[in-house]
Amino acid sequence: MDTIDGMRTFVAVVQEGSFSAAARRLQMSPQLVSKYVGQLEDRLGARLLQRSTRRLSTTEAGLAYSERCRQVLADIDEMEDAVGETTARARGTLRINAPMSFGISHLSRAVALFQVEQPDVSVHLTLNDRVVDIVSEGFDLAIRIARLAESTLVARCIAPVRLVACAAPAYLAARGVPATPDDLANHNCLGYSYAADRGQWAFKRGSEEYSVAIKGSFSANNGDALREAALAGAGIVLQPSFIVGNDIRSGRLQVLLPDYSTPGLNLYAVYAHRQYLSAKVRTFIDFLSGYFDSPPYWDEPWK
């Protein structure tokens, strides 16, 4: 067993949580994965994993070793990318994490078109709405929609993201149309539970700024779930235009407080800080910047 292969195998087992999942990722048999890890433990003279019939866990020594392995493997990848930069050929597996709604509605098509241009890149896309640890969970980059705070990660802004307050015509016919942000106190506002400022919606008109405490009978950690509730007439949502734009254009949802703006977000590509950025990551980020552009296609004027 090559030591580097053993390290890559062990890190994959830790990240995936099982020998079988690591085997699928590495395109190896589970028996070979187990053999590599066993040989690595024998060479080190330490148990790295606790095995049982029900679960697999990392020992204290294994946790420390996996962190160092990731650093070493990242350095090796950087060196190889630096040498290969002369060819500027994107290749290998690109592991991406992205929000669920955006990933389904917009990113999946972009990935498919990117692979037409870069056939030597395979993509493993993981969709969820929590903020992942890019390094420890083994992603090359993450797509995030946020106002980013200071971080050790590198973030490149891809496109602006506009938030829109809207509701179904049936709801507004029954409850009335809010004329000012303060009127939202009398409405059922559907909240996004992963928002950093959940419970508060912010608006601005000219130099005037408003922070409104909202309440409602339904909240969710996914924008499409809130959209469906709004379409059913459950209440008012404050959601990105890439989620509700088509519904507004079709008349299924109605824009509220058009004289007020909301603090916008941005679409970012986020990756670990490295001296050398791999060709597959750099090429993909450049592709996204051109594909979504600014303003992005989902912000076509409402009809």
Residue 78 or 44, more confident: 44
Q: By residue range, what is the domain housing residue 280?
A: 92-160+266-299
In the chain, how many H helices and how many E strands?
A: 10, 14
**Are 28 and 53 members of one domain?**
yes
The Cα–Cα gap between 10 and 12 comes to 5
Last residue of a domain, one of 58, 84, 110: 84
Question: Do 152 and 270 belong to one domain?
Answer: yes
DSSP 201-238: EEEEETTEEEEEE---S-EES-HHHHHHHHHTT--EEE
Which of 24-33, 123-132, 136-145, 239-248 reaches the highest mean pLDDT? 239-248
Residue 250: count other Cβ atoms within 10 Å of its Cβ: 9
100: amino acid identity, one letter = M
Q: What are phi and psi of 35, to 5 degrees?
A: -65, -45
Same domain, yes or no: 40 and 80: yes
pTM (two decimals): 0.69
- CATH number of the domain that 229 lies in? 3.40.190.10
User: Is the Cβ–Cβ distance between 164 and 239 less than 8 Å?
Assistant: yes
pLDDT of amino acid 101: 93
Looking at the structure, do residues 63 and 145 belong to the same domain, yes or no? no
Taking only the tens place, the pLDDT of each residue in 105-132 is 999 999 999 999 999 999 999 998 888 8
CA distance 90 to 173: 54
Q: Same domain, yes or no, for 170 and 255?
A: yes
At residue 85, what are phi and psi to the nearest 5 degrees?
-65, -25
- CATH number for the domain harbouring residue 53: 1.10.10.10
295 cis-preceded (ω within 30 degrees of 0): yes
Residues counted in the chain: 303
Read off the pLDDT of residues 131-188 as tens digits, 9 standing for 90 and up: 888 877 888 999 999 876 655 578 889 999 999 999 999 999 999 999 999 999 999 9
Backbone angles phi, psi at 272, to 5 degrees: -65, 145
**Based on the domain organization, do 55 and 198 belong to the same domain?**
no
Structural domain count of the chain: 3
Domain identity same for 57 and 142: no
Measured CA to CA in angstroms, residue 170 lies from 214, 233, 302 at distances of 20, 6, 19
Percentage of the chain surpassing pLDDT 70? Answer: 92
Residue scoring higher pLDDT (66 or 81): 66
Please count the other Cβ atoms lying within 10 Å of the Cβ belonging to residue 240.
Answer: 23
Q: Tell me the two tokens of residue 275.
A: 């001296």
What distance in Å separates the CA atoms of residue 49 and residue 59, rounded to the nearest whole number?
5
Q: Is the dihedral of CA 221, 222, 226, 229 positive or negative?
A: negative
- Residue 150 shares a structural domain with residue 286: yes
